[in-house]
Amino acid sequence: MLRRFQWVFLTALFVAGNAALPLQAEASDDSIPCTRGYMKCLNDSYDTQGLFRIMADLECGVRYAACLVDAIIG
């Protein structure tokens, strides 16, 4: 009987704990525009090859760094 009570108590505690947690944690779109833009830029440069890909990835990195500096300073 005591064993059954322990299982019921633990199950109820688990259900209550999960009900108190938020369903989904998500950052707002405004909080990560630099990272989102950087990932999109890298995704767009994936179709290039050789020197053009290196140049495109470098451009993505420079834009990302500029965006971060602007976000920190401004």
pLDDT tens profile 32-51? 788 999 999 999 988 889 99
**20 found inside a domain:** no
Q: pLDDT at residue 66 above 90? A: yes
Domain range for 49 is 30-74
- Calculate helix-pair angle for 50-73, 33-44, nearest 10 degrees: 170
**6 found inside a domain:** no
pTM of the model: 0.56
Gap between the Cα atoms of 63 and 38, Å rounded: 8
Looking at residues 1-29, what average pLDDT do you find?
66
Residue with tokens 């179709």: 47
**63 found inside a domain:** yes
**43 found inside a domain:** yes
**10 found inside a domain:** no
Q: Please tell me the total count of domains within the chain.
A: 1
Looking at residues 63-69, what average pLDDT do you find?
93
Query: What's the pLDDT score for residue 33?
Result: 86
**19 found inside a domain:** no
* Close Cβ partners of 60 (under 8 Å, ≥ 6 residues apart): 38, 41, 42, 45
If one compares 36 and 28, the residue with the highest pLDDT of the two is 36
In the chain, alpha helices (H)? 2-20, 33-44, 50-73
3-state SS, residue 22: coil
